[in-house]
Structure 1
Amino acid sequence: MKLPKHWKRAYISFLVWFKNYRKNFRNRFQAVEVELYDLNKVVEPFVHGFNSLLVVLAVASLIASEGFELKNPYLRWNNYLDLAIVVGFTISYFIRLFLTSKRLQLIRNRVFETILISLLALIGLSYLIGGEGFVEYMESLFRVRDIWPILILATKIYLIILIIERGIRAAPIILSLKRKPTQVVAGSFLSVIAVGAVLLMTPSATVNGEGLNFIDALFTSTSAVCVTGLIVVDTATHLTLFGQIIVLGLIQIGGLGLLTIATLFALYVSSGLGVGQMTLLKSTIGETRTSETFHTIKRIVGITLLIEAAGALGYYLSWHDLFDDNSTRLFFSIFHAVSAFCNAGFSVFTNSLADQVNALNYGINITTMILIITGGLGFTTLWELLKGNPNHRLRNWQFSIHTKLVLYATGFLIITGTVAILVLEWNGVLAGYQTSDKIMLSLFQSVTTRTAGFNTLDIGSLGISTTLIVLTLMIIGASPASTAGGLKTTTVSVLLLSVWSTITGKKDVEFAKKKISKETVFTAMTVFVIGAVCLFFFTLLLTITEDQPFIDILFEQFSALATVGLSRGITGELTTAGKSIIIVSMFIGRVGIVTLALAFAKRRTATKYQYPSESVIVA
């Protein structure tokens, strides 16, 4: 359809007039914009300080409202505090919007904040002018009864996310103060453990309304963040739903890593990250290229959520006869999916999965094993498997030497462990089961002992020979860049390949027609030696502080350092000193032996000279 010529002329004239008017308007107020820019530089520090105060108030209000059962007048004062946070947050946003000269950019960069502020402002005005119809419309639109408390909760959580984002942005400053990325990683885990311990000490976290004592709260928080699974109180009966949700959140943060989650939030609620932040995060997620850091983080989070969702669906379908309440059934499914993929081993069943209803449920067994294995392969290997081959021809797939080592080692350990447990316990703890059930139970224990922590058999009833097999599987653990712990499959594989090269007289360590660098071999040796020293030292301390059988103490220490979570039943009987030793072991096992050593060791600069070599008789 063609417009008449006079309409076209009118349209063009209007555009010319509008451009001239906009140009004149901007020129007229250019001086005002300059004044606002100068004012913004003066006011900006005060705005940041005010926002920091709002974050402190938001954290205090969140802990008070969710962790304690507030009654009048404390409940009324907390409501006033919530209102002050919302009003302060709104005022801060409009001040920044008024003072900046890039308003559209601010709105685009903080879309979620803009939407949240708009909803808060609209509902607040509706309450003031008595427009309850709009509020009811919003509640019906979002299908909630009372939208105001939800928006207040969203505001407090968003403020906390913002402070985490600023922590990410401050990382280059930390590094400029001679800090190391390894120290940032260790510090991030410590901060999450501390917050989790405080939350678990609140009355709302426990059924008795008293909260956990300090050492038990610290132990539980460390076990969850370090995805270990050792418990001193029963998660199913001692913790409330609020406490279980805290544990679930700690497991998820511990599995993915605080820096990974915080970075994802920072990239979506802010304007992005700089080269300094990306360089820091590159080393924490195992990426070699700074430009690929953001894509790697998205892949890690995306793969995690996708697999956990599939696992939750598997659990939900497998428990169709166990729960009458769908909401409870859904929560149990999500909890165990996250716990299994993160290799945490926490369960909201008192006996883990050893109850008759779960131990022989093939759906539960298969779902759990798939989650444990995928979580233990490592994100690098998972992505390489999912990416596949562009030509869609299996014979042309070219896996990296890392992925090949991981797949071969994982398959060998699962099969060998299954056969060993099946043979050694055929007439032992497996006696009385059908052959198919014996195979399934043996396979499950072989998979879960490599840092997962779930069990469908009584671990304390296993024979000594089987226990030694389990100890071996536990200390080897899963693979690097995964949610699991242990010395890692690649570490042990490289050491065995090095031994084989020495025996056969080869100069280099080779695998799959590739040469493994000496730096990798030295790193594997370092991990093994430091791990052995830690095991000996902490086991020695436990024999001094605990009055328990040695095999049980040894098993407990292996489980803690390898972040497995299995126990022979002495965790709850540990003394305060024993719990403290296990806490330190779990932290070292999760952060990484070499990572923690590099975080506090002084690195010597490379020298430009070499000493003369001389042989030493070692064998």
Structure 2
Amino acid sequence: MKKKDLRNQMTPPKFLAIGFAAITLLGTFLLKLPISTADGTSTPIIDAFFTAVSSISVTGLAVVDTGLHWSGFGQVVMLLLIQLGGLGFMTSATWVALMFNRRISLRERMILQEAMGQYQIQGIVDLIRRVLIYTLIIEGTGALLLTLRFSSMMPLSEAAYFGIFQSISIFNNAGFDLMSQIHGPFAGFASYVTDPFVNIVLMVLIFLGGIGFIVIFDLIEYPKCRKLSLHSKVVLTVTSLLIVIGALMIFVLEYHNTKTLGPLSYPAKWMAAIFQSITPRSGGVSTLDIASLEQSTQFFMILLMFIGAAPGSTGGGIKVTTFAVLIGAVITMIQGKRDVVLYRHRISQAVVYRSVTLTILSLLLLVGASMFLSITESGEFLRILFEAVSAFGTVGLSMGLTGELSGIGKITIALLMFLGRLGPLTLAYAISRKNSKELYRHPEGRITIG
């Protein structure tokens, strides 16, 4: 009886929260083992925990160099955590179940519905099958292209490993890289700022990972049905606008900066500006030194990271659809209308409330975490705020603070990464009591605002 009661209390949000926590602890244990490091020594527990959280939350913030500190075993553990975190452990478990022809229960379908951000349970298993196929195609293509590029610099077997690692990491918007093995500690992709091939491959992987599988499916089916869902229209419109506006802003703000775009040719300036505009979607890799950017650019990137990617994607942030609904609500209020309308579709009041709630919870979380970090860590506040938003948005970009974090700072950032991947609203649902329908309504009151 007790087991049944416990089962009934285990709602999908609770299950997802506990599942992510359990996998994080397992990853911490594996990364703590001496076999996980290049020199055979045991990694401090706090660093192993931070790396496990950063991997499972597909963030990419690193307190130790990924390419130099971790052994092949440790890197594979990180890669598995990235894949699980990017696509969801329930999605991965469903793949295994389908391989063995096991029936997916109603409860498991409900959890998958929550994990994939779907409004209906119908067709959820078929969706997971398609996710598996398209993931293998996209990551495989990315790995092949990057292998071809790296094969001119290293043996083919090593180039293939680099290509596979980078493709999985970038598509899942994790941002971890092995470039330090070629270009030195924490080198990243700065050496490829003028390389069109690498830039285009990485940007496409980040973009596809950031728009989500629902949009990818819609785009693939578009030539047949000539129709996109409202969700896909909003995601593609807002994402495109943010990329274009972001690239223009970065190009203008950094044009004369001798440490970033200044020395580059005119075409390379535009390519670097576009790349830096796409990567705050949750990509986590950059071709410019983030710490050398102008303060105005850094703050603008904070705004892009806070908005983040699309629902059902491997990215974080409050999501582009939430941002679209908020902008729609503002326009509706200014125009004195009643309903938020996007592409001639009325958005339900529940979705508007959910968007406002998610945004306010996220802002409160970031304000509290940033204030706390400003006490525990030394340095400029913008640097601290950038780190906090990058962690919450599961982006992985940093102005160099990650390696300087204190023990309590690492735990704070790790919690932000975990909450950012899970979603503050999902966590709120997970810890809240079961909702009961109100049997009455209070009398309407009036207050003055503005």
Q: What TM bracket, shorter-length normalisation?
A: over 0.9
Give the aligned partner of residue 163 of structure 2: 333
Q: 1:501 aligned to 2:323?
A: no
Deviation at 1:607, TM superposition (A): 1.4
Query: Does the 8 Å CA contact 1:336/1:346 hold for their aligned counterparts?
Result: yes
Matches of 1:318 and 1:479, distance apart in 2: 30
Give the aligned partner of residue 215 of structure 2: 381
Matches of 1:277 and 1:609, distance apart in 2: 34
Deviations 1:391-438 (A, max 9, x none): 5xxxxx232211111011000000000010000000002111100000
Deviation at 1:283, TM superposition (A): 2.7
Query: Does the 8 Å CA contact 1:418/1:442 hold for their aligned counterparts?
Result: yes
Give the aligned partner of residue 90 of structure 2: 259
1:349 to 172, 179, 184: 179
Deviation at 1:175, TM superposition (A): 6.5
C-alpha change, 1:235 and 1:292, in structure 2 (3 Å) is: same
Deviation at 1:291, TM superposition (A): 4.1
Alignment TM-score, normalising by the size of structure 1: 0.70
| Paired amino acid for 1:199 | L
Matches of 1:527 and 1:341, distance apart in 2: 25
Q: Secondary structure at the match of 2:22?
A: helix
2:30 to 195, 199, 204: 199
Q: Secondary structure at the match of 1:542?
A: helix
Give the aligned partner of residue 472 of structure 1: 303
Matches of 2:196 and 2:172, distance apart in 1: 21
Matches of 1:541 and 1:479, distance apart in 2: 29
Deviation at 1:560, TM superposition (A): 0.5
Query: Does the 8 Å CA contact 1:560/1:585 hold for their aligned counterparts?
Result: yes
Give the aligned partner of residue 247 of structure 1: 78
| Paired amino acid for 1:354 | F
Matches of 1:317 and 1:207, distance apart in 2: 26
Alignment TM-score, normalising by the size of structure 2: 0.95
What are the residue-to-residue correspondences of 1:122-161 with 2, within 5 Å? none
Matches of 2:210 and 2:108, distance apart in 1: 27
Deviation at 1:274, TM superposition (A): 2.7
What are the residue-to-residue correspondences of 1:28-427 with 2, within 5 Å? 176-323=7-154, 325-350=155-180, 351-356=186-191, 358-390=192-224, 397-427=226-256
Deviation at 1:275, TM superposition (A): 2.8
What are the residue-to-residue correspondences of 1:562-573 with 2, within 5 Å? 562-573=393-404
| Paired amino acid for 1:458 | D
Q: 1:530 aligned to 2:361?
A: yes
Query: Does the 8 Å CA contact 1:353/1:359 hold for their aligned counterparts?
Result: no
Query: Does the 8 Å CA contact 1:175/1:181 hold for their aligned counterparts?
Result: no
Deviation at 1:352, TM superposition (A): 4.8
Matches of 2:397 and 2:114, distance apart in 1: 31
Matches of 1:220 and 1:442, distance apart in 2: 29
Q: Secondary structure at the match of 1:388?
A: helix
Deviation at 1:174, TM superposition (A): 7.8
Matches of 2:283 and 2:51, distance apart in 1: 16
Query: Does the 8 Å CA contact 1:352/1:454 hold for their aligned counterparts?
Result: no
1:597 to 428, 436, 439: 428
Q: Secondary structure at the match of 1:254?
A: helix
Q: Secondary structure at the match of 2:165?
A: helix
Q: Greater shift after overlay, 273-282 or 344-353?
A: 273-282
Query: Does the 8 Å CA contact 1:253/1:261 hold for their aligned counterparts?
Result: yes
| Paired amino acid for 1:614 | G
Matches of 1:345 and 1:258, distance apart in 2: 19
Q: Secondary structure at the match of 1:588?
A: helix
Percent of aligned positions with the same letter in both sequences? 37
Q: Secondary structure at the match of 1:277?
A: helix
Give the aligned partner of residue 542 of structure 1: 373
| Paired amino acid for 1:404 | K
Deviations 1:479-503 (A, max 9, x none): 0000000110010110011000000
Q: Secondary structure at the match of 1:449?
A: helix
Query: Does the 8 Å CA contact 1:410/1:489 hold for their aligned counterparts?
Result: yes
Deviation at 1:234, TM superposition (A): 0.2
Give the aligned partner of residue 491 of structure 1: 322
Matches of 1:347 and 1:498, distance apart in 2: 40
Query: Does the 8 Å CA contact 1:220/1:232 hold for their aligned counterparts?
Result: yes
Give the aligned partner of residue 183 of structure 2: none
The structure whose RCO (Cα within 8 Å, separation 6+) is larger is 2
| Paired amino acid for 2:170 | A
Q: Secondary structure at the match of 1:290?
A: coil
Matches of 1:505 and 1:493, distance apart in 2: 18
Q: Secondary structure at the match of 2:341?
A: strand
Matches of 2:199 and 2:23, distance apart in 1: 31
| Paired amino acid for 2:417 | M
Query: Does the 8 Å CA contact 1:441/1:457 hold for their aligned counterparts?
Result: yes
Matches of 1:516 and 1:290, distance apart in 2: 20
Matches of 1:453 and 1:352, distance apart in 2: 13
Matches of 1:414 and 1:347, distance apart in 2: 23
Deviation at 1:518, TM superposition (A): 0.4
Query: Does the 8 Å CA contact 1:546/1:574 hold for their aligned counterparts?
Result: yes
User: How many residue pairs get matched?
Assistant: 441
Deviation at 1:534, TM superposition (A): 0.3
Matches of 1:360 and 1:195, distance apart in 2: 40
Matches of 2:29 and 2:67, distance apart in 1: 20
C-alpha change, 1:280 and 1:207, in structure 2 (3 Å) is: closer
Query: Does the 8 Å CA contact 1:223/1:583 hold for their aligned counterparts?
Result: yes
Deviation at 1:299, TM superposition (A): 1.1
Matches of 1:547 and 1:457, distance apart in 2: 24
1:559 to 390, 403, 407: 390
Q: 1:606 aligned to 2:437?
A: yes
| Paired amino acid for 1:471 | I
* Uncovered stretches (5+) of structure 2, i.e. residues with no partner: 181-185
* Uncovered stretches (5+) of structure 1, i.e. residues with no partner: 1-171, 392-396
